[in-house]
Structure 1
Amino acid sequence: MTTEELLEYDDVGDALREGRPLRPARVYRFLLAEGDLAFQHRQVSDPVPLGRQLLEAAGLDPRQGHSLFAILSSGDFEDVRLNEPFDLRERGAERFIAFQSDRDFKLTLNDDELRWGKPIISGTVLYGLAKRGDGEAIYLEVPGGEDRLIERNELIDLTGAGIERFITAPMTFEIIVNSRPRTVDARTVTFEQIVQLAFPGHHHPNVVFSMTYRHAASAPHAGELGAGGSVDVKKKGTVFNVTRTVQS
């Protein structure tokens, strides 16, 4: 391929999402954040840059004591050594975070105080640290509000005021179906599942169900749900109304 035939750029994230290798291009685009979650597009001309070249692409001076980490698709952090090559074509990482800090960050996990050497922690790390029972998940305590479920691929900023407090608890969701409280053990519920909660048992082919919902976690937060559909519910308070019609 000649220089004229090269793409202007290829995006590492696009390649990962499309399940394809990086294409020959003049530059390769990736995401980098500086000690927070404010990721910005950066680019390098080499698909196998040194760690220091990734920093320099963001205007950072490698001599100023930066640490650089790649965030893998699993949510794990991988140390990127500044004088060693990092193959953007093979490592499965689109996002990078640079830190310039020797500070420890405090958090609690089931009332055990932990110290973490980076201002960002991933859900994968928290799940690895936690001692969980069967069917339990990790939640961020929200004083005066609803505790927030932590997803494995989520990144949590520890730099805010106060100490982030995490707990393990059964992954149950309290919903309302036709004015009656019900409990489900997964965030995503299906049309068919809600129909069974509203009208248990086998249904005659002539019976047709219609369903509306409100206060859902997913967008839109309210609407109609049809056969084969699903919606994400909140920890508490998602409401479903199901009606049954017999066709002649």
Structure 2
Amino acid sequence: MTTKELLEYDDVGDALREGRALRPAREYRFLLAHGDLDFQQRHVRDPVPLGRQVLEAASLDPRHGYSLFAILPSGEFEDVRLNEPFDLRERGAERFIAFQSDREFKLTLNDDEMRWGKPVISGAVLYGLAKPGDNEAVFLEVPGGEDRLIEQSELIDLTVAGIERFITAPKPPVTFEIIVNSRRRTVDARTVTFEQVVQLAFPGQHEPNVVFSMTYRHAASAPHAGELAAGGSVDVKKKGTVFNVTRTVQS
């Protein structure tokens, strides 16, 4: 590919979600937050930038005592050395977060007080610290309200007023909200079959001469959109996977 044929930029997040390698481009786009969870789009020219180049993409001066972390798909933090290369093509990280602080942040986990050196903590770290059982999950206590389930992939801001209190408790029933022929439906498993969706769209028994066809979009599994045939299945998102089912009577 010649220089003229290079893409203006390729997006690291798009490549991860589409399960493909980064394409040759003039720049590579990623997300960077500075001390909070406000992620902004940034660009670097090299797909294997030094940590300091990642900071400089956001006009942050590496000489001012920054710590830089890549947030892996699991939600875990990986330390990015400022003078070492970080391969955007292989590491599976779309998001970076930079801290300029020597503060410690307090939190409690199952009534044990802990100190954390970053203003943000991931669900993956909390699960690693809590070690919940197979049927347990980590929750953020909400005084006077319903405790909030923490997902392993999410990030929690510890800079809000007060001390964040986390507990382990039994997992709630897992449900997935899908849309079938413009109507919201709830299923209790991530994988749904062609036959299940047909029953949600057209309940009951069907004559042998009735044929169904189905399309879907916003699925969790790849491809994220397409046609689903009898006997097939697809993994749905927690919320928002859409199915359209048509019914045809053959003569």
TM-score over 0.5 for the pair:
yes
Q: 1:89–1:119: structure 2 CA closer, same or farther, 3 Å change rule? A: same
What is the match of residue 89 of structure 2? 89
Residues 5-154 of structure 1 mapped to structure 2, 5 A cutoff: 5-154=5-154
Query: In the alignment, what sits opposite 2:174?
Result: 186
Q: Deviations over 1:37-65 (max 9, x none)?
A: 00000001001100000000000000000
- Give the SS at the match of 2:94: strand
Deviations 1:64-119 (A, max 9, x none): 00000000011110000000000000000000000000011000001000111101
CA apart distance, 1:231 = 9.6
Report the Cα offset of residue 229 of structure 1: 11
Query: In 2, distance between residues paired with 1:9 and 1:114?
Result: 42
**Contact 1:30–1:42 (CA<8 Å) still a contact in 2?**
yes
Question: Which amino acid in the other structure matches residue 168 of structure 2?
Answer: T
Provide the aligned length of Structure 1 versus Structure 2.
Answer: 191
Counterparts of 2:236 and 2:84, CA distance in 1: 46
- Hey, what's the Cα distance between the residues in 2 that align with 1:73 and 1:113? 27
**Cα offset for 1:132?**
2.0
CA–CA distance in structure 2, aligned partners of residues 230 and 20 of structure 1: 21
Letter in 1 for 2:144: G
Instruction: Give the C-alpha shift of residue 122 in structure 1.
Output: 0.5
Distance 1:206 1:54, change over 3 A: closer
Structure 2: stretches of 5+ with no match in the other structure: 178-184, 189-202, 207-233, 240-251
Structure 1 residue 131 displacement after superposition: 3.6
Moved over 6 A (4+): 228-233
The equivalent of 1:162 in structure 2 is: 162
Structure 1 residue 187: Cα displacement: 4.0
What amino acid sits opposite 1:186 in the alignment? V
Identity of aligned residues (%): 76
- 1:193-204 matched pairs, under 5 angstroms: none
Preserved contact between residue 191 and residue 229 of structure 1 (Cα < 8 Å): no
Cα distance in 1 for partners of 2:104, 2:235 equals: 45
In structure 1, stretches of 5+ residues that fail to align are 173-184, 194-203, 208-227, 234-248
Question: TM-score of the superposition, structure 1-length normalised?
Answer: 0.72
Closer/same/farther in 2, CA of residues 106 and 51 from structure 1, 3 Å limit: same
- Please report how far the alpha carbon of residue 3 of structure 1 lies from its aligned counterpart in structure 2 after TM superposition: 1.1
Normalised to the residue count of structure 2, the TM-score between the two structures is 0.71
What is the CA distance between 1:10 and its match in structure 2? 0.5
* Contact 2:176–2:187 (Cα < 8 Å) also in 1: no
